[in-house]
Amino acid sequence: MRLLAIVAMVLATAHLGWSQEKAMRPGVTVWVYELGEELRELPLLVDGQTPNVSGYYPAVDFSGAWETIYNSSLEQYYLGHAWGNLIVETGGTYTFRLTSDDGAKFYIGDSAALVVDDDPAEEGGRSASLNLLPGTYPFYVDFYQNTGDARVLLEWKPPGAQDFVPIPESSLETEDGLTHVTSPGLKNYYYEEGAGGSAGGPGDGRPLIGVHPGYDLINFRPSDFHPAVGGMDFLPDGRLAICTWDNTGSVYFLDGLDGDSPATVHRFATGLGEPLGLKVIDGVVYVTQKQEVTKLLDTDGDDVADEYLSVAHGWPASFNYHEFSFNLVQKDGYLWVTTSVPLRTGNTAYLPGSEPAFPVPHGPGSLLRIDPQNRTWEIVANGLRTPNGMGVGVDGELFCSDNQGEWLPSSRLNHLVPGNYYGHREDPDVELPYTRPALWLPHGEISNSPAEPILIPSGPYAGQMLIAELTHGGINRAFLEKVKCEYQGAVFQFTQGLECGMNRLVWGPDGSLYAGGVGSGGNWNWNGTTYGLQRLKPNGRTTFEMKSVRARADGIIIEFTQPVPYSCIGSVANYSLQQYHYEPESTYGGPKYNVESLAASYADVSLDRTKVYLNIPGLKEDRVIALRLKNFVNESQVAPWATEAWYTMNQLPEDAGADFTVMDPPPESQIPVSPDVSILYEAESAENIGPVTATEHAGYTGSGYSDYGNAAGQIIRWNIVSTHAGDHQVAFRYANGGTSARPLVLSVNGSVLTTLQFSPTSGWADWVTTNVVVVNLNKGTNTIQLSSAGSTGPNVDSMSLIGPSAAPSSAVVLFDGTAASLLANWKRDQDGARPSWSVEGGALLVNTSPSPNDISTIAGYNDFTLHLEWLSPTGGVDQLGGNSGVKLRRSYEVQILNSAAGIALANDSAGAIYQLKAADLNASLGAGAWQSYDIDFTAARWSGTTKIENAKVTVRWNGVKIHDEVEIPAPTGASLAEASGLQPLLLQAHASDASGPVRFRNIWIIPKDTFSQHWQSWLESQGIAWSTGVEYQDSDHDGLPNLWEYAVDGGATANDDGVSRMPTMKLVEDDEQVYMEFEFVRRADSAAIGLRYSLQTSESLDFGSWTNHPASQIGPAVPIGDGHLERVVLKMDEPVTGLKRIFARLQAELIE
């Protein structure tokens, strides 16, 4: 047992004097999240997800599996979070001991006054001590489990005690009355350091972090005004009216919204009962309270409400806390309000019998239409659950959001039409047809508790809608279209970075979007926030992201906000697609059913490269299509703001294909391009300490330039992130209308590099760019600054940073300019030892001794896309001229040499597939320049130990294609013999007389799934564990072994969808000979996933007696249905005439 002795003084607070405190109960609250795969350490959970298990427990003392409400128990691959308060009665030294399997951490006190870290788990647990004064201390324990035994135990030794005891229930308390919100399915996670996990970066499998770049976030509320916003609207005089969902139930008017000082706040009304809707009609404030719409009148002109008049009241409701009345929308002369259903700690309250099962039926979960003239109300639609958020959206139609729970497997956006039933049952056993949502909002990925939807009136997304999001935080954007007269469409992440989970939205007179937030205890909040009020002002900047996704009969059309390079938008590999289905169930939330991966078979791009039509075989109706972009950038190398979209495909339209003019793929460029990229950083966006942003002299880029004042030491500081360590170049764009040079000191990461003379230009509107200066950057954050040396400086517009490009997000980076990446990824090929090549200035230098000193990757690869940059210096003759090479699978070399531009190339010059084929074009940038290879490689295919297909390679040299799907029949030169399986990359250390060593930088690889990995993924999706011989087992006992089910897209554990997958054989006569013909159904992408079909015969059926026979396909493959299956006929080449008895079979084989 290791003792970490941390001794600290802890002060308890004085009682704060609140007369009301949160309701508490003894014990702890535990949330458990299923992650579904092996964890290497305690992971971090992606924000905004709900747990699979939520409940109260008497102590932190857990072992074994967790029961879920989804008819399964959670035994392995999960993360748990137990939390509450520790109650300390007696002051003194407390020692805490944490024991776990597989690992856990215990935090106590705000800002983790003490952390006991038992990850990895240690025999006997770990302990630490803390001096505590009497009081209550918030704490939590995070724990994770892979497989095998599971244990978490938190013990303590109070002052004076001899032994550890489990912390008793009487010393633990947690919030009472929590709604235990849960949802099934795997949750997303990542690690604090390093790769792994199921999520990418922000906006890519994870929530966004910041504010949408097209908006400026403006804070205007006074810092001591903490509104929990239940409703918002503007008064005719421009003031903002809000109502607050808190224990005063007030209406406030805010004025002075646009000034430099915070707004003023004036209380207009108070004492309303949980007001959750507000609307200003003809200058009068109306609010929705629990079961009443109230009009507030100021009759004596003192700007305080004197009359609280009931417009409509008394619709059926019980006293259940969850029967809210939400929203207040004015449309068609009526007022519209929604209500929610009663809950008993999360589950719908049902008392089934001779009446409908709600405590008070015919009211909760409804849409009410109110006639304000006659003061009457009418229920016009029902089957809603918690419709917190309603607004007029596209086409002037009414839309509401609804929150996940029973009968609602995921939150959704509904198009409200009187007469519709939306699915939440008033009687648990009565199933009725229900109206599908316009949008499903997949739970925990984009939404947990959607709130108010609002139409976007102008700007680049005009006609779309924004939806406030309460517990997932932020605001989402929705695009809707009509297919067969019903609304469906796509939802995108839009913004985070706000101060609270958002509840209500309204557009202000200045064109800003005002957002008001709210939050409560337990899971009913975003990051513990409970109030907020901010606005987002459009700033006119275009943000690169998906603008819309539309459905076609056979695919989708994505439109982007900016043009995308053809190689990116036209590449089907950059679109990851999945479809699944939701079913309303009585459990709280529901899983995704029938999850299927989809693949685009081809892409048609529009002439302006902002739209792409993806042809997607296998699309089904009543599904959600989940789309994620990979390796996407616009023309300025900027990644999309968010990479995900979820399209609700209730129905497939009739029209197919692209609905725009399709461009021809551009011809391959024949002009070599340096691998360096240049990134522009505006001076006005940098940290300016002294210089001010000015716009007086025209010709600047961006929104201005930095103007130095009259003092030394004024600074423009750029904080930049570099993905590659080492040498970069910077140049500055400036103007100097003075008569003498104005020097600025250039510093990088705090060290002075040099003083640059900014010579006079021909005027203040004459902008020029300096020569480049070499700077050495770290991987990660860097600062580059210019500070004035004298009493003034030039006007600086921008800085250009030139250096290696960033690797795509899905790439494995093999070398990034750091020695660490060399050691982590490469070994000395000869003996597996540490490589002895050096790293200087961010470049990897070839070291030829002790020979042979090639290096190769520690990992092996099969098919891949590879990018590497190399520099071959001047000097040396022929094969000694800066010779090196990259050997794919150690067997196939692409030559590196200092071959000059413009000369004729041989099969041993730069760019050659060594001794096999010279480059088609000379794309050299010359000796001493950085050059790039982009290599798409397909490995040889093997059947057992027999090679059945050659390796193939496509190579681009400085962006120019020089080899196009060239077959490589044998190892090149003296390279290693070919073999199946994963093989490393090798960089060659070759004898050379050049003026210096060959250098490498910026090496990354994107491996493609091997056929075996694809097969394993399919097994997992069918719920079959891999074992030796699993391909021959018949898991669903339908006569088809598992590999055959895979090959024919049958269900290994479910019924096939009406198309027989059994192959049939017949004998055909042709020219007096008899031949065997097999007809069978297979996946259209069989070849692409490594499936090979052969005909075999045997005389005896004995194992080992089967022999292959050549066969030919008769006619083309005939697509079936939507095209993802095809029917094929194979005819054996040799006749079987005269044979008395023969057994024949069609074999499917997975090649390597």
Partner 1 sequence: MSLKLFLARRRSRAIARILPSVVILSWFATSTETSIAAERGRDPWVFRMIFENRSRMLVMALRSDLWAAYNPANGSLYKVWNGGIEYHGKVYDFGQRNSKALGQVYHRCEKSSLLEATDESVIPSGWTTEGIATGAESWTLTNSNSELVTRSFDTRRYDQVMVTYRTPGGNNRLLVDVSTDNGLSWNAQTWMSIDAPAEDGHQKRLAVTAEQVKLRFRRNTTGSTATLADLVVMGDYQVWSFQKDGQMVFPKVDWRGYRLSGQTDGVTLLYDLILPDETRISVAETPEQVVGAGMTRKFEILGLPADSRVSLELDGTGYQAAHQLAGAGSLRTENDDTFLDFVTDGSSTLTTTWTP
Taking CB under 8 A as the criterion, the residue among 194, 333, 528, 832 binding partner 1 is 528
The residue from 102, 155, 292, 707 that contacts partner 1 (CB under 8 A) is: 292
- Nearer to partner 1 by C-beta: 135 or 158? 135
810 binding partner 1? (CB under 8 A): no
- Which residue among 203, 231, 249, 835 contacts partner 1 (CB under 8 A)? 249
Q: Torsion-angle region of residue 389: left (phi > 0), alpha (psi -120 to 50) or beta?
A: left
Question: Residue 229 or residue 897: which is nearer to partner 1 going by CB?
Answer: 229
Please tell me the distance from the alpha carbon of residue 201 to that of residue 180, in angstroms, as a whole number.
Answer: 29
Find how far residue 155's CA is from the centre of its chain.
39
Residues of this chain, 69-98, that bind partner 1 according to CB under 8 A: 85
Contact flag: residue 987 with partner 1 (CB under 8 A): no
Closest CA to 723 of 790, 803, 780, 664: 780
Close Cβ partners of 48 (under 8 Å, ≥ 6 residues apart): 207, 444, 448, 471, 472, 473, 526
Please tell me whether residue 171 binds partner 1 under the rule CB under 8 A: no
Stretch of 171-179, 410-418, 1013-1021, 1067-1075 contacting partner 1, by CB under 8 A: 171-179
Residue identified by tokens 């060594």 is: 914
Residue 870: closest CA among 834, 854, 836, 894: 894
Regarding 974 and contact with partner 1 (CB under 8 A), the answer is: no
Shortest spacing between CB 344 and partner 1, in angstroms: 5
In DSSP terms, which residues pair with 934 in a beta bridge? 867, 956
Q: Do β-strands 92-101 and 151-157 pair in parallel, antiparallel, or remain unpaired?
A: antiparallel
- Site membership for partner 1, residue 13 (CB under 8 A): yes
Q: In the window 1069-1098, what residues touch partner 1 (CB under 8 A)?
A: none
831 — alpha (psi -120 to 50), left (phi > 0) or beta? alpha
Contact track, partner 1, 37-56, x by CB under 8 A: --------------------
Q: Count other Cβ atoms within 10 Å, centred on residue 979.
A: 13
Q: For residue 510, say if its preceding peptide bond is cis, omega within 30 degrees of 0.
A: no
Shorter beta-carbon distance to partner 1: residue 313 or 1092: 313
- Measured from the CB of residue 1052, what is the shortest distance to partner 1 in angstroms? 38
- One residue of 132, 513, 629, 868 binding partner 1 per CB under 8 A: 132
Q: Is 499 in the site for partner 1 (CB under 8 A)?
A: no
Candidate list 171, 320, 792, 1012; residue touching partner 1; CB under 8 A: 320
Of the listed pieces 244-252, 417-425, 688-696, 933-941, which binds partner 1 according to CB under 8 A? 244-252
Residue 273 or 981 with smaller CB distance to partner 1: 273
Partners of 646 in the β-ladder = 491, 626
Amino acid at 1114: I
Find the shortest distance in angstroms from Cβ 539 to partner 1.
30
1041 binds partner 1 (CB under 8 A): no
Give the three-class secondary structure for 888. strand
Which lies closer to partner 1 via its Cβ, residue 370 or residue 649? 370
Q: Does 521 bind partner 1 (CB under 8 A)?
A: yes
From the CB of 8, what's the least distance to partner 1, in Å?
5
Q: Which amino acid is at 1?
A: M
Q: Is the Cβ–Cβ distance between 1089 and 1019 less than 8 Å?
A: no
Bridge pairing between strands 486-495 and 644-649: antiparallel
Residue 526 lies near partner 1 (rule: CB under 8 A): no
Pairing relationship of beta strands 126-132 and 3-4 according to DSSP bridges = parallel
CB of 529 to partner 1, least distance (A): 8
* Complex with partner 1: residue 360 or 819, whichever CB lies closer: 360
Q: How far is the CB of 314 from partner 1 (least distance, A)?
A: 7
For residues 251-270, which are near partner 1 according to CB under 8 A?
A: 270
Per-residue tokens: 823: 């050691």
If one asks whether residue 345 binds partner 1 (CB under 8 A), the answer comes out as: yes
Give, as one character, the DSSP assignment of residue 878: G
DSSP code at position 663: P
Q: Which is nearer to partner 1, 132 or 629 (CB)?
A: 132
3-state secondary structure 982-1021: CECCEECCCCCCCCCCCEEEEEEEEECCCHHHHHHHHHHH
Residue environment code for 722-743, b if the CB has 16+ CB neighbours within 10 A, otherwise e? bbbbbbbebbbbbbbeeeeebb
* Closest residue by Cα to residue 958 from 759, 805, 745: 805
Taking CB under 8 A as the rule, which mask of x and - marks residues 199-228 in contact with partner 1?
A: ---------------------------x-x
Q: Which residue, 304 or 1062, has its beta carbon nearer to partner 1?
A: 304
For position 293 contacting partner 1 by CB under 8 A, the verdict is no
Q: Which of 90, 248, 636, 1073 binds partner 1 (CB under 8 A)?
A: 248
CB atoms within 10 A of CB 444: 26
Which residues from 609-628 bind partner 1, rule CB under 8 A? none
Tokens in use for 150? 């599971």
Tokens 């806390």 sit on residue? 321
Asked if 23 is part of the footprint of partner 1 (rule: CB under 8 A), the reply reads yes
Task: Candidates 37, 38, 303, 307: give the one binding partner 1 (CB under 8 A).
Answer: 307
- Binding of partner 1 by 975 (CB under 8 A): no
CA dist 981 and 1152 (Å) reads 7
With CB under 8 A as the contact rule, the residue among 26, 55, 138, 926 that binds partner 1 is 138
The window from 69-77, 106-114, 741-749, 873-881 that contacts partner 1 (CB under 8 A) reads 106-114
* Stretch of 307-315, 437-445, 826-834, 1083-1091 lying at the interface with partner 1 (CB under 8 A): 307-315
Contacts of 385 (CB under 8 A, 6+ apart): 340, 341, 348, 365, 402, 403, 405, 406, 407, 408, 424
Q: Note whether 874 and 884 are within 8 A (CB).
A: no
The alpha carbon of 816 is separated from its chain's Cα centroid by a whole number of angstroms, namely 24
Residue 102, preceding peptide bond in cis (omega within 30° of 0): yes
Binding partner 1 by CB under 8 A: which of 3, 209, 284, 304? 304
> Which is nearest to 363 in space by CA: 349, 384, 389?
384
Q: Is 245 in the site for partner 1 (CB under 8 A)?
A: yes
Residue closer to partner 1, measured from CB, 251 or 989: 251
Q: Tell me whether residue 265 or residue 398 sits nearer to partner 1 (CB atom).
A: 265
Q: Which of residues 829-858 bind partner 1 (CB under 8 A)?
A: none
Q: Give the CA diameter of the chain.
A: 112
Nearest CA to 763 out of 734, 789, 731 is that of 734
Query: Of residues 10, 572, 845, 982, which one binds partner 1 by CB under 8 A?
Result: 10
Q: How far is the CB of 268 from partner 1 (least distance, A)?
A: 11
Site string for partner 1, 678-717 (x = CB under 8 A): ----------------------------------------
Q: Which residues contact 1151 (CB under 8 A, 6 or more apart)?
A: 941, 942, 943, 948, 1011, 1090, 1091, 1092
Q: Which of residues 769-788 bind partner 1 (CB under 8 A)?
A: none
- Per rule CB under 8 A, is residue 373 in the interface with partner 1? no
Q: Which of residues 108-127 bind partner 1 (CB under 8 A)?
A: 109-111, 113
Whole-angstrom distance, CA of residue 871 vs CA of residue 879: 15
1019 Cβ contact partners less than 8 Å away, ≥ 6 residues apart:
1025, 1026, 1030, 1042
Pick one of 72, 76, 136, 678: the residue that binds partner 1 (CB under 8 A): 136
The least distance separating partner 1 from the CB of residue 250, rounded to whole angstroms, comes to 7
Q: Is residue 366 close enough to count as binding partner 1 by CB under 8 A?
A: no
Task: Using CB under 8 A, count the residues that bind partner 1.
Answer: 86
Q: How far is residue 266's CA from residue 489's CA, in Å, rounded to a whole number?
A: 41
Pull the structure tokens for residue 967. Answer: 């077959």
Query: From the list 117, 122, 169, 176, which residue makes contact with partner 1 (rule: CB under 8 A)?
Result: 176
Q: Does 272 bind partner 1 (CB under 8 A)?
A: yes
